[in-house]
Amino acid sequence: MSLTTLDPRTALVAIDLQNGITAMPTQPYTGPEVVARTAELADAFRARNLPVVLVRVSFAADGADAVPGRTERRPGGLAFPDGWDVIVGELSGHPGDLHVTKHNWSAFHGTGLDVQLRRRGITQIVLTGIATSIGVESTARDAYAHGYHVTLATDAMADAVPEAHTNSVEHIFPRLGESGTTTEVLELLAKTHAA
């Protein structure tokens, strides 16, 4: 893990830090730990007038916008409790933040995320969120394919399956970008972007 630089126009992109997902058991960090570290990053990005993007996953009540592909392992039924897809309170309430709703694993597929980032001149993203091997990794892959520099704050993400988290961090992320801790991202941000 080593971080080299943050571009002048870097955005923080937080994946699926919403009530229903952050309440699930995750490893190696809990949902509240991931949220706290992401909130620390978000405050630092906002202080430097850098974009914060809050991504959530949601589906229509009838499931019409759910991914229809045939798979061997489908998630449970689409009956979600009220408020499950609401961004957690620790991150919400900032009118300048961008909000993206996705219906797939990646925050890029079927959303306006790429357009919103490009209109703001963003060339790099810092990713956090849950789950490491699903929403975060899928978004990292697409960000890389779209030509963004990708930074992964690996202690600000977690997964329901520890081995899946480890696989993403150790084997996939090094091929997509640079990884580091929240502290390392904050230190680099302080060096390269005046508050």
Q: What is the pLDDT of residues 47-80, one digit of tens each?
A: 999 999 999 998 766 666 667 676 666 555 555 6
**Which residues are within 8 A (CB) of 53 and not within 5 positions of it... i.e. 6 or more apart?**
11, 12, 13, 14, 97, 98, 99, 100, 107, 113, 116, 117, 125
CATH 3.40.50.850 fits 10-69+78-192, yes or no: yes
Number of H helices, E strands in the chain: 7, 6
**Cis bond before residue 153 (omega within 30° of 0):** no
Condensed to tens digits (0 to 9), the pLDDT of residues 4-22 reads 999 999 999 999 999 999 9
Task: Please tell me the distance from the alpha carbon of residue 176 to that of residue 59, in angstroms, as a whole number.
Answer: 28
Average pLDDT of the residues in 137-165: 98
Q: What pLDDT is recorded for position 54?
A: 98
Average pLDDT of the residues in 131-158: 98
Q: What pLDDT is recorded for position 137?
A: 98
164: its two tokens: 């899946």
Q: What pLDDT is recorded for position 188?
A: 96
Q: Give percent above pLDDT 90 in the chain.
A: 84
**Structure-token match 């060339």, residue found:** 123
Asked if 38 and 151 count as a contact pair (C-beta separation under 8 A), the reply is: no
Residue 95 to residues 9, 42, 99, 129: CA-CA distances in angstroms?
A: 19, 13, 10, 20
Q: What's the full length of the chain, in residues? A: 195
Q: What are the residue ranges of helices labelled H in the chain?
A: 19-22, 31-47, 113-119, 137-145, 162-167, 173-176, 182-192
* Residue among 123, 130, 181 at smallest CA distance from 152: 181
Q: What is the mean pLDDT of the chain?
A: 92
CA angle 147, 1, 173 (to 5 degrees): 40
Average pLDDT of the residues in 25-54: 98
**Structure-token match 């009220």, residue found:** 82
186: its two tokens: 């904050």
Q: What pLDDT is recorded for position 195?
A: 81
Q: Is the pTM of this model over 0.85?
A: yes
**Cis bond before residue 95 (omega within 30° of 0):** no
Q: What pLDDT is recorded for position 2?
A: 81
